[in-house]
Structure 1
Amino acid sequence: MNKKADIILSSNAVFTGKEDHPIQASIAISNNKIIAIGTKDEMKAHTDGNTKIYDFKDQLITPGFHDFHLHIMQGCVFLDSVNLFDARSEMEALKMIQEFADSKPDEPWIIGYMWDAGYWDQQKLPTRHSLDRVLPDRPAILFHAELHYAWVNSKALELANIDRDTENPEYGEIEKDAYGEPTGILYEKATNLVTDISHNFTEEQQEKMFKNFLSHAASVGVTAVNDLYAPSQNTINEYKLFKRFEDKDELSLRVFLWPELNGDIARAKQLREEYQSNKLRVSGLKQFIDGVITPRTAYMLEPYADAPETRGDTAYSQETYYKWVTEADKEGFAIRFHAIGDGAIRMALDAFEEAQIKNGIRDSRHAIEHVEVIHPDDIERFNELGVIVSMQPDHFAMSERGVYTNRIGKEREKYVFIINTLQKTGARIAFGTDFPVDLLNPMLQIYRAITRIDSSGKDVWHPHERITLSEALKAYTLGPAYGTFTENELGTLEVGKVADITVLDRNLFDVPAEQIKAAKTVLTMVDGQVIYERNSIKN
């Protein structure tokens, strides 16, 4: 007796992740599992009067998109903030901020994201003074596109008790002018002095924001996310919020949690025991090694080309990373490091190698996040050490290419976002967005990975580093499943696997690359349940 399906999805273009091209197929789903894949005729044996049948013609069915790197609560705030990415001058940014503030007269704080002075006509960092002109009485914090520094006004500095006498926090800087007064630019952990008060949301506000995030994720075909530790995060409260949604059966996607690696192994183990369900689980631990290239906070092996007095810096010492990684690795944790500069990447690889020497080799699946500028001597080490390359390909088009290249110089520029080279060594690749650093839509990352179109929108940045569409889709599905030890349940469309599935409005394999950015999600399914539907064809 053939098991009856609750839902059958059919299409002429099904990308299972097992092949490199789509196939014509139908997928039968019962409860939360795929019970059969075959022809429409073969599916008749699994059909009864209660089976819902969807026929998507030539629209692409894929495994659900799994974002390997984002920050949920920061993203929740972003969805209700002013997006300054399109500003091409400080004046234009100020106009957008003022219009947004006027539209939200009751909001106590004005919060914004995505500005980048590298794209502005002057290419100069803004100050609190210009912001004061449009917002003299309401506090504002506006995060740079890379989230590693922020622009604030005088009111925000006043509320955070930041003045000329305030000392820099560890791994942070309150920028000051020639007279010793704060300019309104806060770097790295100095931003926490303001976010501690600007992001003080009520439980009701948080629930509303998280609901909005879940809906948004479903609408762009995202079925699983990795929520990585960030300095502004209130980990315990956020995890409790997610758990409340799970308890009410309202957690509509999978959330893999990566709390802070900080030497407190007892706390990490407690969190791992507490959050271990199919929808909400602690997968490992995360920490920062360095910052980012444009403000020169990424840690380099050699000085910056345009500022020979600095190589950037690390959040903690090499010895501290060795100690923390070795302890956590011994307890079976996967560890992920934010490492952007070639010095930081080497430091992360060295720490993972040290753990292998001390604890022995195991299936650890540690990862390095971003991997932007790598030294050629370290390329093979990812595969040798079994370290996952966690990348966000659209990021290399988010920074102005000329500014980025000026920082690192021509020689190091050859080793920027070398996705294909790393993949060819046998290293595992996993994609994400770093939302809200970038938009949550997976199409942007996929488009950038296969075209390598740079920030100009015309030129290709290292064409030899392009990867195929099939490889990009696998990096967004099977790659993150492997990175969360769930490749036996998720990441491909196979009988026995969980029905986390996305349907797009076009076959990406059949359209010009430019059209990929415009692709929309038609249907999103998590655990066999349709959580988003847009103009689906249902019989």
Structure 2
Amino acid sequence: MASRTTALASLSAVAAALFAIIVAPALRLTWSPWKWSRISADLVVMNATIYTSDPSLPFAQAMAVRGGRILRVGSYSSVEDLVGQETYVLNLNGNVVMPGFIDSHLHLIYGGLQMGRVELRGVKSQEEFARKIKEALREPSGLLVDSAMKLVLAVIPEVSIHDRRDSLIRASKYALTRGVTTVIDFGRFFPGTSVDHIWQDFSDVYQWADSSGKMLIRVCLFFPMQTWSLLVDLIQEKGRALSQWIHLGGVKAFADGSLGSSSALFYEPYEEDPYSYGLQVTDINWLQNVTLHSDKFGLQVAIHAIGDKANDMVLDMYNTVVSYNGMRDRRFRIEHAQHLVPGSTIRFGEQRIIASVQPDHLLDDANSAEKKIGTMRAQRGSYLFRSLIDSDAILAFGSDWPVADINPLGAIKTALYRVPPGWENAWIPSERMALYDALKASTISAAYAGFLDQELGSLSADKYADFVVLPVDSWDQLAGDLPTTVLATYVNGKQAYP
């Protein structure tokens, strides 16, 4: 019995030794102290007034960022444990922070090319810079069609790859000065121009910038509807997100022209010409057929429509496409939606059509619309932002740059007050928007309008850390006097401007 006890004791000693040699070190590695394994942020923003554009947490005081994405948003105590030795802590002393603005409709490279033709030597302030750019970018607002466009195109020189690449960098830097971190780019395509321009810019400029690390802002690209099958092939080969910078959006077509050239399509004639109702610039049967095919293959469709008849024509066509292809999350867009008959605002909401609108266009149109279509029609149906919101429609704000300036804070102010230059009172005051609705249209709704809302548009956990800092130190101050400039713009949690 004693020998058995001795043997057991010896085995226990051996087992203990083996445990100490083999198992215990592994346990020590597994259960290392928490301070060595915890995650720390690259950046923590604190003591800020953060408007998140996320209804689950509209406001916060602090935000933690790691690897270009948001780790956590909330009070400082909720992110304090993420501050490590290498964390940069940005104390904003109450300054307002909000998501980077999304311009939902512009022509980025074209705008950059126009900037390159502006004389900027001797400019000493941001205000003077912006003024010169705005003056230089005032292009004719008319629509050249058919033979007129062909005559113009014959004398426009080709733009070199070098100039187009420079224009992208130039335009992107300018967008960052305005707090814009993402754009929906409709490219260098207009009725009568070559559909090849956008595809050339995609391969020569955007893919070059992406592969060489020169992208500064995020872009969602739309292509001419005539080339829908090429886009389907590209998406099937590479997916929609080519990188964190480039997203393949969808296709665009035109239903009518513009108010300035009296080519926007209306139900009633123009005041100056009782025989003119505007122009339908694309055959409706072709438009419906190609929209059907584009939608069937999963492409997002955006169609330019300005006059009230053109908007109803597109709404009808979209409804037909849905009846053929069935229900799904397609997010059809109408670009501009400037003039509507009263019942059409309800249809935008019922059909879940995105109204991609440009508030600053009304600053010019307020003076011309009543002359073009008469006071009663103009005041009854122009820029019906509030009516669209009340009808549960989704508004996405853009600039249409370079037709108007990139200026999201200015566009928000225009939507709030609707007072054109030189006017004392608002134009159609019943259509003024509330601040929160206008901010949504420049952030989360604009992201939704491009299928970007899972990655952008609000300051929420796991989204890209794109945000702006504004020169106001309280929400009440911002609501009472909206600033016209941004203090700083951040992309991926890194300062991109100034």
Q: Which residue type is aligned with residue 388 of structure 1? A: I
Aligned to 2:333: 367
Conservation of the 8 A alpha-carbon contact between 1:61 and 1:503: yes
Conservation of the 8 A alpha-carbon contact between 1:502 and 1:521: yes
| 1:39 equivalenced with 2:13 (yes/no) | no
| 1:521 equivalenced with 2:483 (yes/no) | no
The Cα of 1:289 is off from its aligned counterpart by 1.0
Distance 1:10 1:212, change over 3 A: same
CA deviation vs aligned residue, 1:263-310 (integer Å, no higher than 9, x gap)? x43212124345632311211111111111122010111211221110
Match of 1:336 among 288, 302, 313: 302
Conservation of the 8 A alpha-carbon contact between 1:11 and 1:60: no
Conservation of the 8 A alpha-carbon contact between 2:345 and 2:393: no
- Pairwise mapping of residues 13-52 of structure 1 onto structure 2 (< 5 A)? 13-19=49-55, 23-52=59-88
Aligned to 1:324: 290
Aligned to 1:205: 163
Conservation of the 8 A alpha-carbon contact between 1:338 and 1:368: yes
Q: Which residue type is aligned with residue 55 of structure 1? A: N
| 1:397 equivalenced with 2:363 (yes/no) | yes
**Secondary structure, in 3 states, of the residue corresponding to 2:214?**
coil
Conservation of the 8 A alpha-carbon contact between 1:69 and 1:226: yes
CA distance in 2, matches of 1:227, 1:219: 18
Conservation of the 8 A alpha-carbon contact between 2:47 and 2:76: no
CA distance in 2, matches of 1:331, 1:505: 45
Aligned to 2:146: 172
| 1:148 equivalenced with 2:134 (yes/no) | no
CA distance in 2, matches of 1:45, 1:513: 33
CA distance in 2, matches of 1:406, 1:18: 42
Distance 1:4 1:147, change over 3 A: farther
CA distance in 2, matches of 1:523, 1:82: 25
Distance 1:453 1:514, change over 3 A: farther
Q: Which residue type is aligned with residue 466 of structure 1? A: R
Distance 1:507 1:340, change over 3 A: farther
Name the structure where helix makes up a greater proportion of residues: 2
Q: Which residue type is aligned with residue 465 of structure 1? A: E
**Secondary structure, in 3 states, of the residue corresponding to 1:148?**
coil
Conservation of the 8 A alpha-carbon contact between 1:447 and 1:514: no
CA distance in 2, matches of 1:373, 1:524: 34
How many corresponding residue pairs? 438
**Secondary structure, in 3 states, of the residue corresponding to 1:18?**
coil
| 1:239 equivalenced with 2:202 (yes/no) | yes
The Cα of 1:19 is off from its aligned counterpart by 4.6
The Cα of 1:249 is off from its aligned counterpart by 1.4
Q: Which residue type is aligned with residue 10 of structure 1? A: M
Which stretch has the larger CA shift, 35-44 or 312-321?
A: 35-44
**Secondary structure, in 3 states, of the residue corresponding to 2:137?**
strand
CA deviation vs aligned residue, 1:27-46 (integer Å, no higher than 9, x gap)? 00000211112222333211
CA deviation vs aligned residue, 1:228-247 (integer Å, no higher than 9, x gap)? 14224611221121111111
Q: Which residue type is aligned with residue 523 of structure 1? A: A
The Cα of 1:72 is off from its aligned counterpart by 1.1
CA distance in 1, matches of 2:323, 2:445: 26
Aligned to 2:48: 12
**Percentage identity across paired residues of the two chains:** 26
| 1:425 equivalenced with 2:425 (yes/no) | no
| 1:531 equivalenced with 2:481 (yes/no) | no
Distance 1:20 1:360, change over 3 A: closer
CA distance in 2, matches of 1:509, 1:471: 15
Aligned to 1:156: none
**Secondary structure, in 3 states, of the residue corresponding to 1:487?**
coil
Match of 1:255 among 203, 219, 222: 219
Q: Which residue type is aligned with residue 92 of structure 2? A: F
Aligned to 1:86: none
- Pairwise mapping of residues 340-359 of structure 1 onto structure 2 (< 5 A)? 340-359=306-325
The Cα of 1:75 is off from its aligned counterpart by 0.6
- Pairwise mapping of residues 122-521 of structure 1 onto structure 2 (< 5 A)? 143-144=139-140, 146=141, 148=143, 171-172=145-146, 174=148, 190=149, 193-195=151-153, 197-229=155-187, 230-231=189-190, 232=193, 234-240=197-203, 241-262=205-226, 264-272=227-235, 273-274=237-238, 276-277=241-242, 278-399=244-365, 401-413=366-378, 414-506=380-472, 509-511=475-477, 515-516=481-482, 518-521=483-486
Conservation of the 8 A alpha-carbon contact between 1:365 and 1:483: yes
| 1:80 equivalenced with 2:121 (yes/no) | no
CA deviation vs aligned residue, 1:433-464 (integer Å, no higher than 9, x gap)? 01101111211110101111124342201111
The Cα of 1:380 is off from its aligned counterpart by 1.1
**Secondary structure, in 3 states, of the residue corresponding to 1:379?**
helix
TM-score by length of 2: 0.83
**Secondary structure, in 3 states, of the residue corresponding to 2:89?**
strand
The Cα of 1:113 is off from its aligned counterpart by 3.4
CA distance in 2, matches of 1:318, 1:64: 38
CA deviation vs aligned residue, 1:176-208 (integer Å, no higher than 9, x gap)? xxxxxxxxxxxxxx1x64356535222222222
Conservation of the 8 A alpha-carbon contact between 2:113 and 2:163: no
The Cα of 1:340 is off from its aligned counterpart by 0.3
Aligned to 1:61: 97
CA distance in 2, matches of 1:20, 1:369: 30
| 1:113 equivalenced with 2:108 (yes/no) | no
The Cα of 1:251 is off from its aligned counterpart by 0.6
Conservation of the 8 A alpha-carbon contact between 2:417 and 2:426: yes
TM-score by length of 1: 0.77
Conservation of the 8 A alpha-carbon contact between 1:469 and 1:509: no
The Cα of 1:51 is off from its aligned counterpart by 0.8
Which stretch has the larger CA shift, 38-47 or 473-482?
A: 38-47
The Cα of 1:348 is off from its aligned counterpart by 0.9
Conservation of the 8 A alpha-carbon contact between 1:299 and 1:344: yes
Distance 1:512 1:269, change over 3 A: closer
RMSD value, Cα: 2.3
CA deviation vs aligned residue, 1:317-360 (integer Å, no higher than 9, x gap)? 21111111111111111111110000110111111011011111
The Cα of 1:523 is off from its aligned counterpart by 2.0
Name the structure where strand makes up a greater proportion of residues: 1
Conservation of the 8 A alpha-carbon contact between 1:390 and 1:429: yes
Distance 1:458 1:326, change over 3 A: same
CA distance in 1, matches of 2:492, 2:296: 33
Distance 1:515 1:77, change over 3 A: farther
